[in-house]
Amino acid sequence: MFESSDTTDDYPSARRPARRAAIPHLVLSGGPPGSETWRALPLRGDAVIGRSPDCDLPLLTDGRASRNHARLQGRKLTDLDSRNGVFVNGARGRAFDLEVGDVVRVGDTVFVVAADAPDDHGVSDIFGRSVAARDAAAYIRAVAREAGSLLIEGPPGTGKEYVAKAFGKASGRAGSFVVLNCANLSPQLAESALFGHRRGAFTGATADFKGAFERADGGVLFLDEVGELEPTVQAKLLRALEVGEIAVVGAKPKHVDVRVVAATNRALDDDIDAGRFRVDLLSRLRRFHLRLAPLAERREDILAFLAYELRGAWPISVELAERIAMTRFPANLRDVASLAARIRAFSDGGRVELGEGDVGRLGLDVVESAPASPRARDYRDRELLAEAARRFHTLTALAKHFGCERKTVKTWAEKLGVPLELDGD
C-alpha cells in the first residue's frame, strides 16, 4: 500500500524500523483454501515448488500442481515437465528469468515476484503483506503516540483513510475518529465544518452545530483532501494546530485536544510556490509524513485486497485471478473495490465461479494489463526509458506507459542521465 515512509522532522530514531538489504521473493498472491499458510521463497539458492510435502514450497491442496512442478534457482524459474505448465505474465514457457512485478501461475496458485519478503505486520486496516505495507505499519506504530500531525500523500485510491483509521487505533486515544472531506467547501462552509457555529452566527444558522474539531475532541480528526482548503481557512486551521484552540463561529474560542491526520493527492510544495498553500501550515501538518504507493508498485497486494472486499468468498478461477493480478488499476484500491462488487453481482453472491470468459463484463478489458514482460516497462533501465521518451510526447503519457507517477519518471531520468525533451501537458 505504501512506499517507504519518511519525515521532514525528527522521527523517533530509537523506534525506527530496522533496515536490511531487500531480497526479492516469490510471494503467494492467490490460490485454493489453505493457501494463506504457504510461505514465500527468496529468489536465491535452489528450491522446488510442487504438491509433494518434501518440496521447499509445498502446494499441498493444489490439485493441478505436479508433485515436483517447478525449480527456482536464484531468479531462474524452470518447469520440471509438469502436467499443467508454468505461466509468467500469462505466457506458458519452459524457463523464465524473473523480475519484480512478474505474475507467476503454478497449478491453481498465483504468485507475484515482490521486492522483499512478505510480512504479517499485525496492523488492522492496512491491507496486504508487501514491503510497503510492512513499512507503513511499522511507521504507524512508531509515531501514533507521538505529538504532532501526520500528513499522508499519494495518488487517489491508495488507501489514505485506511491508514488514518489504523493511526487512530494505534494512538490509544479514547475520543472519536472523525472524517471531514475538505474538497469543494467554500470558505464559510469549511470554517463551519471544521470549527462549528452557534445559532444565529450567520444567515441560515438556525441551530448550534459542532464542527469536526469539537466532535474529535480527545480523539483523531482525518482531514481528507486538505490541499483544497482556501488560504483564509488555512490560517485558522494553522492556529488550531499551533495552540489547540478553535474559533467557533459566533462564540468564544475553545480549547480542544485533537490529533490531526491530513491527506492529499496534490503536490503541496508546488502549491506553496504558486501561493495556493501556506508553508507554515504544511510544516505543521507534515510533522510526520507517509507517502502511499500505487498498486502498480505493489502488485502482490491486489488479490489480498480483493479477497478482503469479497468477504470470504472466492468465486473466480485461477486464470481469472491471474488476469486480475496482471491488471493495471488506475484508481488503485477504489478500482479493486469496484471489481469486487461486479464479481459479487455476476457470481450470484459467490455461488457461481467466474472465469476468463467473464473478463469483458467485469471491466478488465477497459484497463491496461501487465505487459508480457515487466522489463519492457522498466523505467529504471536507461535504454528502455530513453526509447520510451522518444515515442511519447508528454510527461503524462510517459508516466502512464510505465504505470507510475510523473515525478517518478523525472527522478529516474535525472538519475540515469536520460534527457526528457517533452511537449507541455
pLDDT digits (tens, 9 = 90+) for 86-136: 999 988 999 999 988 899 999 999 999 998 887 766 555 676 778 888 888
Q: What is the mean pLDDT of residues 147-168?
A: 93
Q: What is the mean pLDDT of residues 300-311?
A: 88
Report which of residues 187 and 215 the model is more confident about.
215
Indicate the helix (H) or strand (E) that contains 191. Answer: helix 187-195
pLDDT at 286: 95
pLDDT at 375: 40
pLDDT at 422: 60
pLDDT confidence tier of residue 214, bands split at 50, 70 and 90: very high
- Asked if residues 67 and 38 have their Cβ atoms less than 8 Å apart, the reply is no
pLDDT at 230: 93
CA 193 – CA 180 distance, rounded (Å): 8
For the cut 70, the answer to whether the pLDDT of residue 47 exceeds it is yes
pLDDT at 385: 76
pLDDT at 424: 53
> Beta-carbon neighbour count of residue 285 at 10 Å?
29
CA 289 – CA 43 distance, rounded (Å): 32
For the cut 80, the answer to whether the pLDDT of residue 17 exceeds it is no
What pairs with residue 92 in β-bridges? 87
- Predicted model pTM: 0.76
Calculate the average pLDDT of the chain: 84
Q: In which region does residue 275 sit, left (phi positive, over 0), alpha (psi from -120 to 50) or beta (all else)?
A: left
Closest CA relative to residue 82, chosen from 71, 96, 74? 71
Report which of residues 199 and 255 the model is more confident about.
255
- β-sheet with 46-50: strand ranges across: 57-58, 46-50, 70-73, 76-79, 95-97
pLDDT confidence tier of residue 371, bands split at 50, 70 and 90: very low
Per residue in 225-282, pLDDT (tens digit) is 999 999 999 999 999 999 999 988 878 889 999 999 999 999 999 999 999 999 999 9
pLDDT confidence tier of residue 421, bands split at 50, 70 and 90: low
CA 148 – CA 343 distance, rounded (Å): 41
